[in-house]
Every structure is written in C-alpha cells, then in structure tokens.
Amino acid sequence: MGINFRNRDIITIDDFSRQELEYLIQKAQEMKKLEKSGQRYQLNKTLEGKKLASLFYENSTRTRTSFETAMHELGGTTFGFAGPEGTSLMKKENILATVMMYWANHADAAVMRHSKDGSVQWAADVLGIPVINGGDGKNEHPTQALLDLVTIDELVPGIDGLNIGFGGDLAHGRTIRSNALALSKFNNITIHWAAADELAMPEDLIDTLKKERGVKVKRYDSVEDVFRNSNIYYMTRPQKERIKGLNEAQINDILEKYKIDMHKILSNPNIKILHPMPVDSSTAEIDITVFFSGNQYFIAQAENGVFLRKALLYEILNETDHILFNSSIDEKVAAANDKDYITKSDDPNKKSDINEKPYVGKIDYGVVIDHLEDGITAEIEAKLQFSKRGYRVTSVLHEPSTKTGKLKDFLKIKDKLLTPREIKEIAMISPNATFNIIKDRDVVEKFKYNLCKNENCITRVVNEDVPPKFDKIGKDLRCHYCRKPYEKLCQIIQNLKNS
C-alpha cells in the first residue's frame, strides 16, 4: 500500500486515511494470528534496545498495560509513571520539562495520558521522538478507536454499512469522539444513540459527522430502540471525574434508564456489546449478568488492544535509528502560526489615544487594560495580587461604553509590563480585555488575547505556559492542541483578510 508509520506521532484519529486504518486493522489481525497459533514471541527481537516512555498522568489499566505488554513482546522495554506519586509532578513540574526529561533518558517513543485536552499534542510538538496519545482529557483516544475498529471488523467484516449504537456518557467520553471520527472514514455508517440530555453526544461532533462526513446520526428515546436498529452496541461508563455540577448519586439516577441488562437485550438477542472498560461497578452501566452472556464481546475487545498496540509500535519503531536527544527547544514551538490568530490589532497607521484620555492619565511606561467588564477589576486584583507584588496599579471607572452607555473599567499599570502568564490570567477573567502597551508615552502595541474557548484545553492551564495557537482545518479555524473550532476567531481573521 506504500504506507509508512515510522517515527510517526499518533495524536488524533482524524489524521488517518481509510487506507491507513485498514492497514493497521490487517497488521493487528496478523499479530492476533501469531498469538493464537502459539507464536507470541516470534517478533521478540524486533524492538530490542528500544525504550517506550509510559507517561500516565491519569489512572489506566488496559491502555497502559497493553502498551507495556506489546513493547515487551516485541523485545523492547518500558519506563515511566502511572500517576504523579513518586515523581516531580508532585513538585509542580510542567509537561514540557517532564517529557523532555524522558527523552533525555533516551526514550525512543512516548505514550501519554493526561486530563487536559490537547496536552499530548503539546508534548508531541516539544519532543523529537514519536508520541502516542493514550487519552487526552475528554478529547480523543485514537488507539482505543483503532482497537475498536479491529473488533468491529471481526463482527462486521469490512465495516462499510455498519449500524452501531452508542450509549452511556457520550458527552464526556473521549472514546466516543475518536470512534465516531474513525467510523466516518468508512461508507454508509449509521450511528444510533440514546442518552440523557446531560450525557448527550456533543453538537459539534454531530455536525461534523452529518454535515461534513455523510454519517447518519439518529437519536432515540430508549436503548431498546437503538438495539433494534444496530449490529453492535458500544456502551461507555459515566465520566464522573469530568461531569460538573452533578454528584455521583445524581449521575447514577440519570443513567438508570440507559443501563444494559438482559431484559433490554431481548429487543435484539443478536446484539454484541462493546465497552472500552472499565465498567463502573458502583453505577453498573452493564449488569453483571451480561458479562456471562453470549452478547458480551468487550473482554475480547480488551485483548485486541494488545494486538493493535503491538502492530502500531512495530510499524512506528521497527528498523528505525535512535533519535538523538536535542536539549534545545525550538522557539517556533511556542509561537503562534500567525500573530493575528492571537492578537486583534488596530490599524498600525492609527495611533491609539488611550494614554491621552483624561480619566486614564498619562503614563510613560506600562500597560493600560481597557474593555474590561464593569466591576471586574476587583476580581483581577484578587487573582493576580498586583498591589502585594509591587505593581503600581490604578483602577479607573470613568468612561461610558459607546455601545451600552454604562461605565467601563480600566486598569492602569505603571512602570511594569505584564508577563505572558499575567496576560493570560486577565484574559481568562475578562475575555474582551484589550491590552495597550505603552513606552515613552506612546501606545506601541494594542492587542486582544484570544483564548481557546474549550475550558479544558491545555492552553488554559496558566502554569503550563502553552500559548494559544490555531490552525486552518477544512473550513474551520481550530485550536492547534484540542482541535475545537473557534468561530469568533474565524470571523476576526476573515475580516482582517477582507480589510
């Protein structure tokens, strides 16, 4: 097929073509044939001398151990951590420093799981070795989707024409997003789903599937209706650690109607039940009786994880040279593709008069922040503690807004400029804030700091120091890290292009 995965990052399932997906399915099936014919260690010299860094900031059983099993069966070794205990993460070390340290310890590749969306893309940008996404926040889990495709292909060979049901927590589960995007590479796919409103499929995902990928997406009121229309049902646990505003008892109550038991299976006795695991034993989204039924296929699905990850590591690292450690970090990694993607600047030929306003008062050097929401300056001061840190800050409340007529807040910071962290923190509190940088009494720069709108994006974690960055993907402008669209910024850039 002319397909080459050597030293390739695996960050999002959307980076794969259909041909690449089919290739990996085939390679995983070959690994399975070796295992079932008693030739588990036939390839145990393949990755001899290679090391996989296993960087699991979040708990994991299947993903972490299947990568480690796969690496060992190919003759390689693994090292890393499973949770922050016993590492410098407990000392507030950031992602950049941690992952670079593992490369410095001669890792040949890394697999990483983290609670923040886009975190693994950031690690891949920093590192010079291949990085595999083991799950980033509620964003994606591409290798889970790949092993699910292997499993689905066993049940519905070729995958085209598949009718699949989704259930459980579709709002917060990264496996659902990756699976849906993976299936969209195939023909005549229909997704049937039933879930509570609080756990419903994200609208942006549904729009992408229906409007851009030609996938049929149908919602039903009951699990039984989904069963009747599906070959396979993919259940997910409630992501209690990511669901805001609801306690465990409330989540369990919401999910009660959608749990899988043998009574519901009577609506389609041939249905096969998949689940990325683990099943939450306190919620019991799959009743224990289903475990002992012929409908259960999720334990075979778990073993397929070993075969898929074994095939993937083989394809990425086989016959590759060690990538020598490079201690310098390219400045371009921390820079936006285009400054206009981060800043909204005035016409450079037009001087800002903010430093001339009588209610601001002239300053020789510093920052004036305007377009702050009414009353927000007290919150900014409480968060950043300017006065305690020696900043000469004045809050000005005198200009009426031209749009609302209400008074607007200003912050005037004398004799100091703001750090990137401080600018980001202010933008997170007051997204419409405009920053005027003043030197020698002139406004030398005026900009607006445009954040990714996804509150779980790695760019919104201040101490990680990941700058906002946006890429043009299809018709959308999307966050480079979490790949969520930013419609407002799209419009800003379009206006700039038209002006």
Could you confirm whether 421 is annotated as catalytic?
no
| CA–CA gap between residue 10 and residue 143 (Å, rounded) | 8
Which residues of the chain form CATH 3.30.70.140?
332-498
Could you confirm whether 242 is annotated as catalytic?
no
The residues near 385 (Cβ < 8 Å, ≥ 6 apart) are none
Which residues of the chain form CATH 3.40.50.1370?
13-137, 142-296
Q: Which residue has the tokens 């260690």?
A: 41
Could you confirm whether 275 is annotated as catalytic?
no
Could you confirm whether 141 is annotated as catalytic?
yes
* The CATH number of the domain covering residues in 13-137: 3.40.50.1370
Give the residues of the chain that fall short of pLDDT 50: 337-342, 344-346, 348-349, 496-499
Q: According to the model, what pLDDT value does residue 348 have?
A: 45
Q: According to the model, what pLDDT value does residue 374 have?
A: 77
* The CATH number of the domain covering residues in 332-498: 3.30.70.140
pLDDT tens-place string over residues 337-363:
444 444 544 454 455 566 556 555 678
Query: Active-site residue among 50, 51, 63, 114?
Result: 63
The residues near 326 (Cβ < 8 Å, ≥ 6 apart) are 128
Could you confirm whether 62 is annotated as catalytic?
yes
| CA–CA gap between residue 267 and residue 270 (Å, rounded) | 9
Q: According to the model, what pLDDT value does residue 340 have?
A: 43
Query: Active-site residue among 114, 116, 141, 174?
Result: 141
Q: According to the model, what pLDDT value does residue 364 have?
A: 87
Angle at 327 between CA 325 and CA 331, to 5 degrees: 125
* The CATH number of the domain covering residues in 142-296: 3.40.50.1370
Q: According to the model, what pLDDT value does residue 341 have?
A: 42
Query: Active-site residue among 92, 388, 403, 497?
Result: 92
